[in-house]
Amino acid sequence: MKREQFLEHFGPWAVVTGASSGIGTGFAEQLAAAGLNLVLVARRGETLEAIGERLSRAHGIEVRAVTADLSTADGIERTRRALAEVEVGLLVSNAGGAAMGAFNRVPVEALSQMIVLNVLAQMELTHAHTSALLAEGRTGGVILVGSTAGLQGTPLGASYSGAKAYVLNLGEALNYELMGTGIHVSVLVPGSTDTPSMTARDDVDLMTVPMPIMDVEPVVRGGLRAVARNKAVYIPGLMNRIVAGPIGRRLLSRGMSVSLQGRFMSRCAPERLMVRPKTTTKRSARD
């Protein structure tokens, strides 16, 4: 799809959640370069304002910043209102977060907050946006940002992988349901990506996962190409597609995939986040 066609189909406005860093900022930059006006949503208002000013100057677009915490009902409602204030064609539902560690080591409050952010917020915003497009007879689209963690159960990220599995299944189903309406739905399923949420964690060291770490730019570019083509699911990176995609599923049983993920994650987690110590010493018969 050429630039002019993309702008016509998905413009004149795009909403990007989680836009203050990482993949969200990458989407904002590439959409601004394509000529779309932007509504940027994240918790850090000052950072959003700075990004918006930079993109507005560079590309001559209009940018609005919405400070909202999408792990709260108020933040979701504030973003829903922002969706209704301008003619939004594309929603990039990128905001997410992971409370990592053994299920019983993570406070249930943190897990509940994560479910709101990764599941309820994505569902409610997608419902609001696609309902508006259908009611007004407009074309547009949704990019839901998932994770390769959602392709199978991920030990030490059990609730996170469950949440991202919801995102994957939601997007796949909506892609089919909305076929022929002019509303495209794609799920972007990145693996390890060089973002602050990956490199600056205080729970697990995801940089030690033995998989290639991708830059943000090609991940975002692939996601935009996928939604332009109305591709239901896009996994960026050849190695990610081999290990986590259809090829990997043919080579490994689901149980083997979970076990492999468990071994990877066990290397990354401190002992305080494990159900049991990483190493144990056998007791002798005399003990």
- pLDDT one-digit tens code per residue, 160-194: 999 999 999 999 999 999 999 999 999 999 988 88
Query: Does residue 223 surpass a pLDDT of 70?
Result: yes
Give the pLDDT score at 231.
98
Residue 277 has pLDDT above 60, yes or no: no
Could you report the per-residue pLDDT of 129-147, keeping only the tens digit for each?
Answer: 999 999 999 999 999 999 9
12-21, 78-87, 93-102, 141-150: which range is least confident on average? Answer: 93-102
**Is residue 202 pLDDT above 70, yes or no?**
no
Q: Look at residue 44 in the predicted model and tell me its pLDDT.
A: 92
Out of 3.40.50.2000, 3.30.1330.40, 3.40.50.720, 3.40.1640.10, select the CATH number for domain 3-273: 3.40.50.720
Distance, in Å, from the CA atom of 192 to the CA atom of 172, rounded to the nearest integer, reads 22
pLDDT (mean) for 73-78: 98
Which range of 77-81, 94-98, 209-213 scores highest in mean pLDDT? It is: 77-81
Q: Model pTM?
A: 0.87
* Tokens at 254, concatenated: 């689901």
For the annotated catalytic residues, the residue numbers are: 160, 164
6-65 pLDDT, tens digit per residue, is 999 999 999 999 999 999 999 999 999 999 999 999 999 999 999 999 999 999 999 999
Q: What is the pLDDT of residue 238?
A: 85
What integer pLDDT is reported at residue 283 of this predicted model?
41
Is the per-residue pLDDT at 112 higher than 70? Answer: yes
* Strand duo 63-67 + 88-93: pairing: unpaired
Tokens of 111: 């897990």
Query: 93 or 102: whose pLDDT is higher?
Result: 93
Q: Is residue 201 predicted with pLDDT exceeding 60?
A: no
